[in-house]
Amino acid sequence: MTLKLFCKAIIRFILGAAITGLLLFAPAGTFNYPEAWLFMGILFIPMFIAGIFMIFISPDLLKKRLNAKEEQSEQKVVVAFSGIMFILSFVCAGLSFRFSWLCFPKWVSYAGTALFLISYALYAEVMRENQYLSRTVEVQDGQKVVDTGLYGIVRHPMYSVTVVLFLSMPLILRSVVSLGFMLFYPVILIKRILNEEKVLEEGLAGYKEYKTKVKYRLIPFIW
Residue 90 dihedral angles phi and psi, to the nearest 5°? -70, -40
**Which residue type does 18 have?**
A
Mean pLDDT, residues 129-156 taken together: 74
Confidence band of 4 (pLDDT split at 50, 70, 90): confident
Non-local (6+) Cβ contacts of 73 within 8 A are none
Region of poorest pLDDT, from 44-53, 79-88, 89-98, 156-165: 44-53
- What is the rounded average pLDDT of the residues 24-33? 96
146 compared with 43, residue with greater pLDDT:
43
Distance, in Å, from the CA atom of 175 to the CA atom of 71, rounded to the nearest integer, reads 34
pLDDT at 222 over 90: no
Cα diameter, the chain:
54
d(CA 39, CA 42): 5
Provide, rounded to the nearest whole percent, the portion of the chain with pLDDT above 70: 85
pLDDT above 70: residue 141: no
Give me the CATH topology for the region 3-132+141-213.
Four Helix Bundle (Hemerythrin (Met), subunit A) (1.20.120)
State how far the Cα of 158 lies from the Cα of 125, in Å rounded to an integer.
9
Strand ranges (DSSP E) for the chain?
none
| Residue in 217, 10, 177 with CA at minimum distance from that of residue 92 | 177
pLDDT at residue 134, rounded to an integer: 62
What's the pTM?
A: 0.84
Mean pLDDT for 29-42 is 95
